[in-house]
Each structure stands twice: as structure tokens, then as C-alpha cells.
Chains A and B, each alone.
Chain A
Amino acid sequence: MFVRKSKKSLSEYSTGELVMFRFRKNKLAMFGVVLLSIIVITILLAPLISSYDAVVEMNMADRFQSPNAKYLFGTDEFGRDLFARILYGGRISMFASLAVIGIAFVIGAIMGGAAGYLGGRVDTILMRAVDVLMAVPSVLLAMAIITALGNGVWKLIIALAVSQVARFARTVRASVLTLRNVEYVEAARCFGASSLKIILKHILPNGIGPIIVSATITLGQTILSISSMGYLGLGVASPTPEWGTIISENKMNIGTYPYLGLIPGICICLAVMAVNFIGDGLRDAFDPKTKN
């Protein structure tokens, strides 16, 4: 309500810089960034830390070794190095999830954007399609698609992306709908801005908050879904490691050797948590009403 006694340093920032500035002040979000960076960097550097051979190499002499200096996370019933398996498994978990979100986001945004902005018949047709997708539980849908396509990382990605499109289409449509008739959009139409320009300049930046939050939460869930699918033996099949698959492989021995389940479980948890923190932080940072 009141004119801020503007510090010069602040008013010199551009919008993007301000968002980053606010984001960086959010401790929880920064914690998420650090955590996610550690996970991603470690995963990226995997070949330097451990060779891929260690992932599949069986060493029956070193079965069920508890975490120690040689085997940082211990070994499983075939004596495979759990650390190496988690490193390489993380690559599949993380990058497959990102790919799923990327694909689902792009398709969903186009569908939702078109439905919301154009309205009328386009809206009806697209949204009924979305309703059909929503009517099937997403895991079931993904399972059905994989069963039809067969196992494989890319097939898993496509299956999960299809099952998430509906969610994105809905979120994007909702934010476009609320913003389409806002007065500042009308004002832009008044001085002759084109629809594309209005969508890119006014609607998208203002509606991005809920979309980003939805994307990050879905990212967390997708990491979980990939793991659950892996656990169920769909998508990524053993011996190719994947966090969910690793738990699944060891499910018979978790009772005796809990670290076999705990370590990959904690990895999944940390990754999901980091992603969620970042999502919340971004949402707050995008809101110009938050304090500087």
C-alpha cells in the first residue's frame, strides 16, 4: 500500500534478478539446491568414482558386507557393490524423471494453453481427452502402456509422461483461464498486442507459479513412480540398476540386512525432498508480493 523507501540497490535489479535474489534468501530452498546439486554432481561423476563393471560384477566372496571402507554402502546377496549400483541407478532415476516432466510439461502446456486461451470447441475436445486420461489411475496407465510397449527406459519415460500430461494440461488451463480476462490482459489487447505476445508476456509469467510447483511436485512423484515401477519389475529390469529396482532385488534380505533397503530408500527420499524444497522456494520467489 505504501511506497517503499526504495533502496537503490534493489530497484536496479531486473525482474529475473529479483526472483533469484528472493530465491537465494530462502534457506530451505537453498538447502534443496545444495542437496540436489550434490546428488546430481555425484551421479554425473559416477564413471570417475567407480567403473560400470562394479555395478554388475558379482563377487560371491564379499556377499552381504555391511557398509565399510571398501564397500561404502556394503554389498548385496551377489556381492555387488551397492554404492556403484546406487550411483549408476541414480542416473536412470533422476534423468528419466526429468525427461518425463519435460515431455509431459511441453505437451500439457500446449494442450492446456490452447484450451484455456481459445476456449469454445477446442477447449471441450481437449479437456474431454484429459478427462479420459484422468479417469485411469496414472500408475495403472503407465503399467498398461509398458506392458504394451515392452520394457526399456525410453518406453518407461513415454508411459509415465503420457500418464502425467493430463495434470499439466489442467494446471496450465486453469491459470490461463483465470488470467485471460484480467484487466491487464485486456489493457494489452487494447493497445494491440497479439495473442502470442499476451500469452508469453503476461499470462505465462503470471501463471507460472502454480505450474512450477506442480512440475516439481510431479518430479518428486515421478522419481517415486519410476522406483515403484522398478520395484514391480516394469520399465527398468534387473540387473540394470535403478533405485526402486535395487530395493526390489533385495526385498528378500531387507529383514536381515536393513541397509539394503534403507540406503536406496533414503536416496529416493532425499532427491524427492530436495526437489520439493526447490519447488516451494521458486513459487515464493516468483511472487513479487513477497518481501525482499
Chain B
Amino acid sequence: MAVPLIETVNLKKYFKTGKGMLHAVEEVNLKIEEGKTLGVVGESGCGKSTLGRTILRLHPATSGQVLFNGQDILKCNKREMKKVKADMQMVFQDPYSSLDPRMSVRGLISEPLETCGDIRDKKEISRRVEEIMELCGLPANHANLYPHELDGGLRQRVGLARAMTLDPKFIVCDEPVSALDVSIQAQILNLLMDLQEQKKLSYMFITHDLCVVKHISDEIMVMYMGQVVERAKTEELFENPAHPYTKALLAAIPTIDLSSRKRERFVLSGEVSNPIDPEPGCRFAHRCPYATEKCKKDNAVREIAEGHFVACNLC
């Protein structure tokens, strides 16, 4: 097995709030290999975005390790970090708020180069910008336009182009298609997959949309209130979901398949609360129809099949 490009070891991120400690990310262990995509699925507030940002050191981690090519980046000093940052980029959800409205498309794409690239020559920079724009399917005559003059799909291409300028190896995609219309969504997904193939990129693809995540991911991790409840290869997860929460999520997807219309579905009751000073054990226990007393004490992660990890006592 190859050395993973990205690996986290017991990564934790807590936030101090007025009401107590918010356990946003709890002991996450994941591995992403070169050229692969890890899909991170969960509902709002489950810590998936925080996880992505903590891996990129946009938030300081509370404890644990983030290994990039075997090197713990949480221990890097400023200069080393600058190098690592060029290899790890992010694409944001909202194509409206993720682009500085005062900068032209060219300015936005060239900014990373000017800030921390090795290229100083102006001509070289503008050649690189053109190259990246073409790569991301942006017409060359859009270089002088401003974000508000573009539609959502084009904006998201600019966001992707900006992430691509430094030739990264790993990109955290935080709900990159959630804000887009379906027809545009498909364009961006195709673009992401093409780039991955050409550049051997690794993605961490954060989303709440299970159809999209199935389409793009090699492996999927399901999170609930900061805990990873299940992690498995995509086909394995969709064929043999083990954790009750994963099952509920899969059942809740409104599919275009009419045959599932009449079926009695498993609708979860209750709602997600905040993991502020949570009780030990499984955080899904209060909504889980199968929960036992033991679930409220611990939920050790077990490997139930090769590469299929579940944090549930009953599976």
C-alpha cells in the first residue's frame, strides 16, 4: 500500500463557546492517497467543514496530527508552512463570497502566485494565468471581468482556478457544487474529475449531497456531530451501510427512482443538537432506534470488512 498523501491521526478540534466546549471534530483518523478522493458526508453542524479547515491549518487543531507526505504539518514553522500551503488548497462553497468583489478574474487568479509563488516575472505570471484559465474552462476574454459580472458556474471555475495556480497536490472542496444549479453542477463535477486525472490531484470532498459524493468519491466518511461514524470504499458503503445513521441518510435521499415512492421509509425522528460538552459514547444514540445502554458509554471503531470502519456497538 502506497504512503498516503494526507493522513490524520486522532485529530481533534474543540471550540470554546459561552456554553462550554464545542467538540466540533473528535478523534478523526483518515488517509487519502494520491489521485484519490475522500468524500466527507454529514448534515450541517457535523464538523465536516471544520475538519477540512483544520487539516489546512486555517483553524489551529486542538490535538492530533496532520501528516502530509509523512510530515506533521501542525509542527511546521511559518517558512515550512508556506511551502506546504502551496500544495494544499481549498475550494469554497459560496462562489459569491469566496471571491474578492474588488478584484478582476486575472487579479484573483494571479494573487496566489504574487503572494507566495517563486515566479516574479510579470509576463510569466500572465502566461500562467492564461494557462490556468484555459485549464479550468474560462474564456480568455473574461480575464478583466469582475466576479459580479459572472454567473455561479463561472465564478466557481474562477475559485477552482485560483486554487490550481500553485499546482497543489491536495484540494479540500467544501461543498463546491451545493450552491449551483443542477446543469451547472454537472459541468463543475466533470471539471473536477478531469483535473484530478490530469494532475493526479487528491480531493477531500465535503458535501451533504449523497448522489454527488457517490459520483466523485473513491472512499466515503460519514460524520455525525463531530464523530466519524463510518468509513468505507464508496461501493461498499452504498451496498452494505452498517451504521444506523448511514442507513437513515441513505434512506432519506430523494431519488428520481419512482419505485421507492411507495416504500415505507425509515424516517429519522429528532434533530441534530450541538456537541457542547457531549456525553461519552455514541452521539447518535439519542436518535438511534437500536441504541442500548452500552451505546451511551462507548462506541469503539471496528473494522467489519477490509477498509470498512464503523463506530457502532451493534454492527
Direct contact of A and B (CB under 8 A): yes
Chain A residues near B (Cβ < 8 Å): 1-4, 6, 11-12, 15, 182-184, 186-193, 197, 201-202, 205-206, 288-289
Q: Mark B81-95, 1 if CB is under 8 A from A, else 0.
A: 110011011101110
B148 touches A288 (CB 8 A): yes
Number of B residues near A (Cβ < 8 Å) is 39
Point out the residues of chain B lying under 8 angstroms from A202, CB to CB.
100
Known A-B contacts A15-B102, A182-B97, A183-B98; the reply to A191 vs B166 at CB < 8 A is yes
Chain B residues near A (Cβ < 8 Å): 53, 56, 58, 81-82, 85-86, 88-90, 92-94, 97-104, 111-112, 115-116, 141-142, 144-146, 148-151, 154, 159, 162-163, 166
A193 touches B102 (CB 8 A): no
In angstroms, Cα B159 to Cα A2, docked, is: 17
Q: Which residue of B lies closest to A198 (CB)?
A: B115
A192 touches B97 (CB 8 A): no
B100 touches A206 (CB 8 A): yes
Partner of B142, one of A3, A191, A193: A3
A190 touches B89 (CB 8 A): yes
A288 touches B151 (CB 8 A): no
A192 touches B90 (CB 8 A): no
B81 touches A192 (CB 8 A): yes
Closest 3 pairs between A and B when the two form their complex, measured CB to CB: A183-B98, A11-B144, A191-B112
Point out the residues of chain B lying under 8 angstroms from A184, CB to CB.
97-100
In angstroms, Cα B107 to Cα A9, docked, is: 18
Known A-B contacts A288-B101, A288-B102, A289-B101; the reply to A187 vs B90 at CB < 8 A is yes
- Could you tell me the distance in whole angstroms from the C-beta of B189 to the nearest C-beta in chain A? 20
In angstroms, Cα B223 to Cα A30, docked, is: 57
Known A-B contacts A12-B144, A190-B58; the reply to A183 vs B149 at CB < 8 A is no
B82 touches A192 (CB 8 A): yes
Point out the residues of chain B lying under 8 angstroms from A197, CB to CB.
115
In angstroms, Cα B82 to Cα A183, docked, is: 19
Partner of A193, one of B97, B115, B146, B154: B115
In angstroms, Cα B89 to Cα A187, docked, is: 8
In angstroms, Cα B52 to Cα A187, docked, is: 13
Q: Which residue of B lies closest to A12 (CB)?
A: B144
In angstroms, Cα B151 to Cα A211, docked, is: 30
Which of B53, B86, B102 has the most chain A CB atoms closer than 10 A to its own CB? B102
Q: Which residue of B lies closest to A193 (CB)?
A: B115
Q: Which residue of A lies closest to B92 (CB)?
A: A183
In angstroms, Cα B115 to Cα A190, docked, is: 11
Known A-B contacts: A4-B145, A188-B111. Give 5 more (CB < 8 A).
Answer: A6-B144, A12-B144, A187-B162, A190-B88, A192-B81
Which of A2, A12, A15, A183 has the most chain B CB atoms closer than 10 A to its own CB? A183
Partner of B98, one of A187, A189, A192: A187
Point out the residues of chain A lying under 8 angstroms from B149, CB to CB.
2-4, 6
Point out the residues of chain B lying under 8 angstroms from A187, CB to CB.
90, 92, 98, 159, 162
A193 touches B116 (CB 8 A): yes
